[in-house]
Amino acid sequence: MVNKRAVLVVSLIALLGASGLYGLYATPGADKTAYATSTASTSPAGARGEPGGAHGAGITVQTAIVENRDFPVVLHTFGHVQAPQTVAVAARTASQITAIHVKDGQMVRAGDLLFSLDDRQAKADLARDQAILAKDNALLAAANTGLERARTLRDENTGTQQAYETALSVQKSTEATIAADQATIDADQVALSLLQIHAPIDGRLGTVQVAIGDLVGQSGTASTSLVTITAVDPIDVDFTLPEDRLQTFKQLLDSGARPQVVAKVSGTDTVIGQGMLDFIDSAVDTASGTIRMRATFENGAQKLWPGQYVDVDVEEETLAQVPVVPTVAVQFGQSGPYVYRLKDDDTVEVRPIAVAADDGTSSAIKAGLSSGDRIVIEGQSRLKPGERVSVASAAPATG
């Protein structure tokens, strides 16, 4: 039984093998045709092995057209907003606060009344001294009359020279007394004025440090400073630049030019102020190799705040009518920077360039390109010299 089954299996295998051989040799054209079709479908375009084929559309890229324009050279650094003036307001005479005319954070102008102190004693002293002056003025009038009488009697030989000289002495003494009285009154008026405390500068108040009833001044027990006023408009921004920029900016200031300075919110591109460079420090910081500079900003909107840190852009110069390209077009190789330039036949060439300045978005080109040149700004990684390309877009290279 087993032998019969074995014979059956061997016979079946032999039959299947014969069928396969018949199929293979009976229809060779069908298999060969299928193989040739698969191979053709996976072959790269172009039978001659040329990039993109002899008549292919080429690699798609985006391009820009180089244009000449003025290009500002801008230096980037960090700055610190500084108030040009900060005044701690204090009482100059000992007294008690009777009125506070301002509140925390208020904007004030020079001359605005801030605090009133107890002025009763000062007013009483002034009234007393004014009364003394009035009395002495009456005495002066009498002395003038006596002097005139003594002069007349002397001239008529009915009076003596001694009497005249005595009257003259009384008149001069009374005049001196009146001058002293007036000086005393002037001092009283100064003392009285010190009891009305006014803002010495324009600015913003800090926290009011006193309350009504506080004793202030030399014998007071309250804080020496009543309030602080900080000037905020205009306002300064201090920053540093490398010392190798010193001569450039010094020459600009010496010539009367004031380079533009832009302040931005730290870490962003949000502009919060535009000012002008107006000061260069007298010495280089030898530890850091930098020079401190200062710009002044109009700050009516008060976007710049004393103590704030900001990003600073300083305009060093403006390059007149230079070729400008988007910075993304600039590539770097072993021989330096270059761009892919499109030729008239829509193939690309490597064009070495010299970059004069770069603001992060656009690059000013010193040599290698001219206005009207077409350059690749996207797709460079797939290109090589002589590659034919298909242009997706072309726009002015304004960055």
Confidence of residue 302 (pLDDT cuts 50, 70, 90): very high
One domain, residues 379 and 244: no
Q: What pLDDT does residue 125 have?
A: 95
Q: What pLDDT does residue 56 have?
A: 53
φ, ψ of residue 388 to 5 degrees: the values are -85, 140
Name the DSSP letter for residue 156.
T
Summarised one tens digit per residue, pLDDT across range 322-380 is 999 999 999 999 999 999 999 999 899 999 999 998 888 899 999 999 999 999 999 88
pTM: 0.67
Q: What pLDDT does residue 16 have?
A: 41
Summarised one tens digit per residue, pLDDT across range 177-201 is 999 999 999 999 999 999 999 999 9
Q: What pLDDT does residue 318 have?
A: 86
Q: What pLDDT does residue 397 have?
A: 57
Q: Which of 317, 333, 348 corresponds to the end of one domain?
A: 317
CATH number at residue 313: 2.40.30.170
Q: Ranked by mean pLDDT, which of 33-37, 40-44, 274-278, 393-397 comes out on top? A: 274-278
Name the DSSP letter for residue 107.
E
Task: Provide the sign of the torsion angle of the four alpha carbons 274, 275, 277, 283, taken in this order.
Answer: negative
Q: What pLDDT does residue 396 have?
A: 59
Residue 368 maps to a domain: yes
One domain, residues 275 and 142: no
Name the DSSP letter for residue 234.
S
Alpha helices (H) along 27-119: 28-41
Residue 182 maps to a domain: yes
Report, as an integer, the average pLDDT of 159-167: 87
One domain, residues 125 and 220: yes
8 A C-beta contact, residue 60 and residue 348: no
Cα-only R_g, the chain = 48
Q: What pLDDT does residue 28 have?
A: 38
Residue 113 maps to a domain: yes
One domain, residues 169 and 215: yes
Q: What pLDDT does residue 98 have?
A: 96
**pLDDT(394) > 70:** no
How far is CA 285 from each of CA 261, 278, 282, 314, rounded to the nearest angstrom?
21, 19, 10, 19
User: Strand 389-396 to strand 59-65: parallel, antiparallel, or no bridges (unpaired)?
Assistant: parallel
**pLDDT(58) > 80:** no
- The candidate with the shortest Cα–Cα distance to 295, out of 283, 311, 284, is 311
User: And the tokens for 221?
Assistant: 């027990």
Residue 110 maps to a domain: yes
Summarised one tens digit per residue, pLDDT across range 130-145 is 999 999 999 999 989 9
Residue 355 maps to a domain: yes
How far is CA 112 from each of CA 78, 89, 203, rounded to the nearest angstrom?
36, 13, 11
User: And the tokens for 167?
Assistant: 């009257």
Q: What pLDDT does residue 64 have?
A: 92
Residue 48 maps to a domain: no
Q: Which tops the pLDDT comparison, 219 or 36? A: 219
One domain, residues 270 and 193: no
Q: Ranked by mean pLDDT, which of 47-51, 303-307, 387-391 comes out on top? A: 303-307
One domain, residues 242 and 354: no
CA angle 94, 96, 98 (to 5 degrees): 140
Per cent of the chain over pLDDT 90 is 62
One domain, residues 242 and 289: yes
Domain residue limits at 293: 75-83+236-317
State the total domains in the chain. Answer: 4
Q: What pLDDT does residue 223 have?
A: 56
Please, which residues have CB within 8 angstroms of residue 351's CB and are 6 or more apart in sequence? 338, 339, 340, 341, 368, 369, 373, 375
Q: What pLDDT does residue 29 have?
A: 38
One domain, residues 100 and 223: yes
Residue 288 maps to a domain: yes
CATH number at residue 189: 2.40.50.100
Residue 47 maps to a domain: no
One domain, residues 303 and 355: no
One domain, residues 79 and 90: no
Q: What pLDDT does residue 228 have?
A: 96
Amino acid, res. 48: R
| Per-residue b or e along 224-233, where b marks 16 or more CB atoms closer than 10 Å to that residue's CB | ebbbbbbbbb
Q: What pLDDT does residue 37 have?
A: 28
Axis crossing angle, helix 120-155 with helix 161-193, rounded to the nearest 10: 160
Summarised one tens digit per residue, pLDDT across range 1-56 is 444 444 434 444 444 444 443 333 333 333 333 222 222 333 333 333 344 444 45
One domain, residues 169 and 131: yes
One domain, residues 313 and 326: no
Q: Which of 317, 345, 365 corresponds to the end of one domain?
A: 317
Q: Which of 229, 250, 271 corresponds to the end of one domain?
A: 229
